[in-house]
Amino acid sequence: MPGKLKVKIVAGRHLPVMDRASDLTDAFVEVKFGNTTFKTDVFPKSLNPQWNSEWFKFEVDDEDLQDEPLQVTVLDHDTYSANDAIGKVYIDIDPLLCSEAASVISGWFPIYDTIHGIRGEINVLVKVELFNDLNRFRQSSCGVKFFCTTSIPRCYRAAMVHGFVEELVVNEDPEYQWIDRIRSPRASNEARQRLISLMSGELQRKIGLKVLEMGGNAVVGYLQCFDLEGESGLVVRAIGTACTLDKLSSGSAPNTNTHMHPNTAPASNACNSPSKDGKEPVFGEDLTSSSGPPTPFRALPTTSSSPPPFSPSKPCSRQSSSSDTDLSLTPKTVETVRSRPGIFLCPSSPTLSTNTLSLAGSGSVGCGHGSAPRATTPPPPSSIPSYTVLLRKSLSFTDDLLLAASGMGSGGSVGKEAGPLKTLLRQQTQTALEQRGASSSGLLLNAREFPFFTLTSFPPGFLLHVGGVVSARSVKLLDRIHNPALGNTRSYKLLDWNSVTADEPETRDAWWEEIRQEIKSHAKALGCHGVVGYSESTSICEEVCILSASGTAAILNPRYMREGCLDIGITDHRFEEPSPPSCGFCHIPYDELNMPFPAQLTYCYHCRRQKVPDVLFTTINLPQEAAVTGKGCLIQARLCRLKKKAQGEVNATAISNLLPFMEYELHTQLMNKLKLRSMNALFGLHIQISVGENMLLGLASATGVYLTALPAPGGIQIAGKTPGDLSNEHHILTIQKRINDTIAKNKELYQINPPELTEEVVGSPIPEPRQRSRLFRSHSESSDELSELDLSHGKKDAFVLEIDDTDAVEDIHSLLTDAPTPTGFYSCNTEIMPGIYSWTSGVQMFTSVRVFRLSNANLTNQGLNKIFTDLCENLLKSFYFKLRSMIPCCLCQLNFAVAVPEEELIQVAVTAVAMTFDKDQAQEKPADKSTTKGGSETEEQLQFPMELCADASSANTQPSSKISVSSLEHCSPLPEGRSRSLRSNRSFRGSPVTVVKMTPLSFLPGTRIIKYLGIINMFFIRETTSLREEGGVSGFLHTFIAEVFAMVRAHVAALGGNAVVSYSMKECMLMENPNKNQAQCLINVSGDAVICVRETDQEPNPSMANIGQTCASGTDGAT
């Protein structure tokens, strides 16, 4: 019994009038934890009662402390009839269980009722006394810190990244239990809220246990979602990245990145690259034999390229034909490296050794990286390898289905009655699972089955190479999650996952398992051993569920990993030639001879030593050290596809047949829009496909940038299929002109003027061919052929769009209809806008929801697309309008969530933050950048001394210090601090309510986070039976969202915080029935509660004073 929870109810205010006669309320409070309940006295006849109760003490297991929320119910005492509930407050006490987080919860909480919304406030004081439990077999995991932030939290240092953790729990949905027919909507909603709260707690505890097992102490990038599967139950699932974090002593380093630097500076220079890069000039001379790496590998194990075996079973590439031998040799390599670092001849390299990851990615192919749509007409999926692979799962599933269906015969087993069929399917899945389990048992023992990371931003040097986006989707039929532990519906004792025999409930786990396996194999195909920026999502409509997962294949620096976290282990990472951090991640990780998809490779425009693809798609944030030209912008691809209404298997089949085409089209759109903006890389790519009864919606959002290291994109060329037609010809010419104009305009708008463009890129894509040939002499002939091929391809050739029918014309029109952002605005869906570095303190987080009703019954795909595109565009336009007072400003982390709540409804929910920046200083960092870049290149033996000497002279200092300076600057330029202090002094001093800032980003500009207080994960249901009176659906939802914000702020303030970072709204599910005057809405939000103080910049005195103040005054923090 290792914990004592103490609660004190202080007072209430603004209570609603419960007694019409006296216009007053006789309020009392029930405090419940687990099965124990305490009550306060009744405070008669007051709307502002002062209970000042004694301390209510609960003695409980820490397991319960983690799972259960504290439940505070405010009631109105009634002598003659039942007491009326005023409302409830659920308080998650998890933050109190971690010594580093909050120590007390104290403050005003809104009293929330699922029917009436917020009804007054209550002041509660909560403390926990925790006793140490040394039991090794304990089920609790107190002390493991959770962060929603998808980067290393700002006041911590990552000592070790352990890897992927996941867990899911299932239960019956109270809304679908028989008892729901007789209980009130309020009771039903409360049961649901409580259940989800319990399940979240349990999930978090279990993940915590896994983390402890791995030896970590924190979960970063914690992403929890729930799937309301209706009849078939409720699934709460979470993924995250287990880490060991060390707290930085406050004030020592304002910024994690700078802190990381001493360690990572060398690492960031190290670059793992494909085999060809392994040939450092020095060795390249020796390696005259063109037989590929194996030979030199044996000869010079420490220095040359060694194809790392990603998995023993993987067929290896041509180059590394003797993969088994390699495998056995790798440990040796490491030893040598460790014991004799001196062997390195490479004079420039501060680090140990050469490293190579040539990849055996011959067979299967990842998707998304991007050159596939080079094809001019949509070919059938089979001709696009990436898509076939991507969709293998869903397609094969369908096959199974069909097979099963035919097996069942035509005995009228349709729809719901196809029970046996489902069973059959289940069996199949299970056997598949077993097989997998058996075959990969070795892998399982390896513990870190999935080298996935939910992080999207990394300490410098962590990310070595990025392969491209990998994603997998699968269409599943939902079935009731049989849950024997739930016999008693009244007690929500949750199913203990481990105790249940691997029966049906396993399916959800197995489904995700399959998807993850697929992602993993895609990553391998891209020559990568890890997946970063990983996320999972679902879309459910009736009994069909689309499971999606996506991430970015990457090669990571093992320095931060726990051994065995990645399949390759440390063995493969000998640090070879340093590669500039500003371009290293662009270099291809895969073997150029066995490219997983057709892509045009060129030499990096930055270092000119390694190959880069022509475009790069990723799901992560732009690495801080990356060299970027101009500014970025939000790029969205939107798509609607009609589908016949159907049931069960037929429906699933139809959906899985549509998916590949949707993915393809989204991809093509993205690519076209990227070209139109004259950019060459996408970051933060998020593709969402939502399923409705009669349509599928696809929305892909990303932030386009021009990476200096990648080649300039060619234009877009329009070609007609029927050259004879004169009018058509003319038409095409006009379109072509418009496109060219748009490209030119965009270049100007986003300030994309790559400096080298004119001299080198156009003339010869790879400058100084002499050096090049020297460098790569060791290449096999085929390799040379390939590069020749690249050249002959006329690398900058325009991207050709063919117009052969009206559809294509429509497509092009839609391409051009994207309105440019108004002057003064920028937008992106990543954390920060590439190209803007001088943020000022203005921050406005907002949530906006729009629902569009399609009244036209017979719509075409084209018509739908137009409607959907307009919806998104108009939404953006109204943001710009609303936020016009913040100009110059940038909308960051624009997160769109689309849904098809009903047959003819399209719902788009957006959460984002608008941040002001200093226009005059916007260019500051790029300048800094160039010196940094110069610096690192100086270290790199000055391959291009002529070009760089100017830079180099000024850049002899270590690049690490440069970077730290620049990152500091971009957080706090001096004037900003000043304007900020003015503002906060004037407007927020003396306010009785703590101002809590919220942002979906991991930081607040101009401030420094000094403490993380714990995770905020809240789930609310709101229902109304008087929709009209509340101002219709808009009024209803508006109030509800405002209430959710208020409750989040109140919880943060009670924890002593003054901001929420990494805030996100994971779910916003609205159901309405205007005819019945009813509506219901569910919202799930999460984030990290923090204390932040104004950045101490060059004005130590005032800001120091301020920090002291803020710290001292705790809850009423001035920021």
Partner 1 sequence: MAVELDVFVGNTTIMDEEVYQLWLDGYTVNDAVKVRMEGGVMEECEASADVLLSDTMDQYRTFQMCERLLHSPSKLANQLLFQIPPNRQAMLIERYYAFDDAFVREVLGKKLSKGTKKDLDDIGAKTGVTLKSCRRQFDNFKRVFKVVEELKGPLVENIPPIMRLLLISGIMLPLFFFANHRFETGKRKLQYLTFQDFAFCAGQLISNWTVGAVDNMVEDMDVDLDKEFLQELKELKVLITDKDLLDQHKSLVCTALRGKTKAFNEMEANFKNLSRGLVNIAAKLTNTKDVRDFFIDLVEKFIEPCRSDRWTAADMRLYLTHYNNSAHILDTFKHQAVWDRYMVVIKSCIFKMYHD
Give residues in contact with partner 1 (CB under 8 A).
13-14, 108, 110, 118, 121, 819, 822, 844-856, 867, 874, 877-884, 905, 907, 986-988, 990-993, 995-998, 1031-1035, 1037-1039, 1041-1043, 1045-1046, 1049-1050, 1070
**Choice between 108 and 560, CB closer to partner 1:** 108
687 vs 915, beta carbon nearer partner 1: 915
Q: Which of 103, 70, 105, 95 is nearest to 145 (CA)?
A: 95
Least distance from C-beta 111 to partner 1, angstroms?
A: 10
Q: How far is the C-alpha of 483 from the C-alpha of 1083, rounded, in Å? A: 26
Shortest distance (Å) from residue 850 CB to partner 1: 5
Q: Helix axis angle, 256-269 relative to 959-971, nearest 10°?
A: 150
Sequence-ordered alpha helix ranges (H) in 102-248: 185-214
Cite the beta strand spans of 1041-1077 per DSSP E.
1059-1073
Q: For residue 24, what is the DSSP state?
A: B
Whichever of 791 and 995 has its CB closer to partner 1, that residue is 995
Cβ-contact 842, 891 below 8 angstroms: no
Phi and psi at 915, nearest 5°, equal -125, 140
From CA 609, how far away is CA 392, in angstroms rounded? 36
Q: Which C-beta is closer to partner 1: that of 123 or that of 320?
A: 123
Gyration radius from the chain CA atoms: 30
Provide the minimum distance between the beta carbon of 514 and partner 1 in the complex, in angstroms, as a whole number.
37
Name, in order, each residue with C-beta under 8 angstroms of 140's C-beta and a sequence gap of 6 or more.
61, 62, 63, 65, 66, 133, 205, 208, 209
Min dist CB 911 to partner 1, Å, is 10
In degrees and rounded to multiples of 5, residue 253 shows phi and psi of -140, 125
Q: Which is nearer to partner 1, 42 or 1048 (CB)?
A: 1048
Q: Closer to partner 1 by CB, 996 or 1082: give it.
A: 996
Give phi and psi for 909, each to the nearest 5.
-120, 130
- Our CB check for partner 1 shows the closer of 117 and 765 to be 117
Q: Which residues contact 111 (CB under 8 A, 6 or more apart)?
A: 12, 15, 74, 86, 87, 88, 89, 118, 119, 120, 121, 122
Query: Residue 14 carries which side chain, given as an amino acid letter?
Result: H
Determine phi and psi for 1065, rounding to 5 degrees. Answer: -105, 110
What's the closest the beta carbon of residue 917 comes to partner 1, in angstroms?
A: 18
Least separation in angstroms between residue 138's CB and partner 1 is: 38
d(CA 960, CA 350): 13
Q: Which is closer to partner 1, CB of 180 or CB of 1043?
A: 1043
* Residue matched to tokens 């993915």: 663
Q: What amino acid occupies position 437?
A: G
Please identify, using beta-carbon distances, which residue of 360 and 909 lies nearer to partner 1: 909
Least Å from the CB of residue 706 to partner 1: 25
Long-range contacts of 174-181 (CB under 8 A, 24+ apart): 176/230, 176/231, 177/489, 178/489, 179/489, 179/490
CB of 1049 to partner 1, least distance (A): 7
Instruction: Return the SS3 of 1061.
Output: strand
- Residue closer to partner 1 by CB (options 336, 874) is 874
- Lookup: tokens for 102: 């909050």
> Smallest distance, Å, CB 1017 to partner 1?
18
CA 414 to chain CA centroid, nearest Å = 39
Element (H, E) at 697: strand 695-707
Least distance in angstroms from the C-beta of 996 to partner 1: 7
Query: Which residues is 1085 bridged to in the sheet?
Result: 1018, 1065
User: Could you tell me the smallest distance in angstroms from the CB atom of residue 104 to partner 1?
Assistant: 19
Helix (H) or strand (E) holding 513: helix 506-525
Closest CB to partner 1 among residues 737, 983: 983
Buried b (16+ CB within 10 A) or exposed e, 908-946: bbbbbbbbbbbeebbebbbebbbbbbbbbbbbbbebeee
Residue with smaller CB distance to partner 1, 111 or 161: 111
Q: How far is the CB of 909 from partner 1 (least distance, A)?
A: 10
CB of 1094 to partner 1, least distance (A): 17
Judge whether 368 and 553 are in contact, CB under 8 Å. Answer: no
Report the nearest approach of partner 1 to the CB of residue 1028 (Å): 14
Q: Which ranges of 26-144 would DSSP assign to H, the alpha helix?
A: 62-67
Minimum CB distance to partner 1 smaller for 238 or for 1052 = 1052
Structure tokens at 460: 């410098």
Tell me the closest approach of the beta carbon of residue 454 to partner 1, in angstroms: 25
Q: Confirm if 1048 and 1085 have CB atoms less than 8 A apart.
A: yes
Strands (DSSP E) found in 499-604: 530-541, 544-556, 601-603
Residue 996's contacts (CB-CB under 8 Å, 6 or more residues apart) are: 1048, 1049, 1052, 1053, 1057, 1058, 1059, 1060
Closest distance to partner 1 from the beta carbon of 887 (Å): 8
Q: Are 6 and 129 in contact (CB under 8 A)?
A: yes
Nearer to partner 1, 777 or 850 (CB): 850
Minimum CB distance to partner 1 smaller for 123 or for 548? 123
Cα distance between residue 154 and residue 345, in whole Å:
38
- In the complex with partner 1, which residue's Cβ is closer, 1070 or 1090? 1070
The one-character DSSP state at 757 is I
* Strand positions, DSSP E, 854-904: 889-899
Nearer to partner 1, 55 or 881 (CB): 881
Give the span between the Cα atoms of 1027 and 88, in whole angstroms.
Answer: 22
Q: Note whether 671 and 715 are within 8 A (CB).
A: no
Local structure of residue 831 (DSSP, 8 states): S
For residue 702, the minimal CB distance to partner 1 (Å) is 23
Min dist CB 747 to partner 1, Å, is 20
Closer residue to partner 1 (CB): 967 or 994: 994
